[in-house]
Amino acid sequence: MNTTLSPCAAGLTGLFMKAALSKFKHGHRNYNLMTFGNSVLAGLVAITSACSTVLPWAALIIGAVAGIVYNIGSQVWAAAAAASLLSLASSAAGVLVGELHIDEKGGGCMSGRAW
């Protein structure tokens, strides 16, 4: 179930965050399907290492954070004129969020308990 909840949360968070940013920048909302797909990918990458150790509500949070981190990362990559590397932002966002998760016992990959 976690591998479904996390990408759903990431995709919706990424889509609506991008729409809000385009409303702020251009005065109208732009719902971008590519942003949705890359945010879903970031959510899948983020939950991969944690799917068996977190509760469903935590999978939603991990996915939402992955969608936010993807949007920030893609904006940074776009500002750096590295357009050919934008897809790298989705994987990098997922890895960052997934490796810093906290499981229901208070441990995570960084605490050494997951090993």
CB 55 within 8 A of CB 61: no
58/78 Cα distance (integer angstroms): 30
Read off the amino acid at residue 95.
Answer: V
What's the rounded Cα separation, in Å, for the pair 38 and 70?
8
**pLDDT tens, per residue, the chain with 115 residues:** 889 999 999 999 999 999 998 888 888 888 888 889 989 988 998 888 878 888 888 889 999 999 998 888 888 777 766 555 555 655 666 666 655 555 555 555 443 444 3
pTM score over 0.85: no
Q: What share of residues in the chain are helix, strand, coil (percent, to 5)?
A: 70, 0, 30
C-alpha count within 13 angstroms, C-beta hemisphere, residue 31: 4
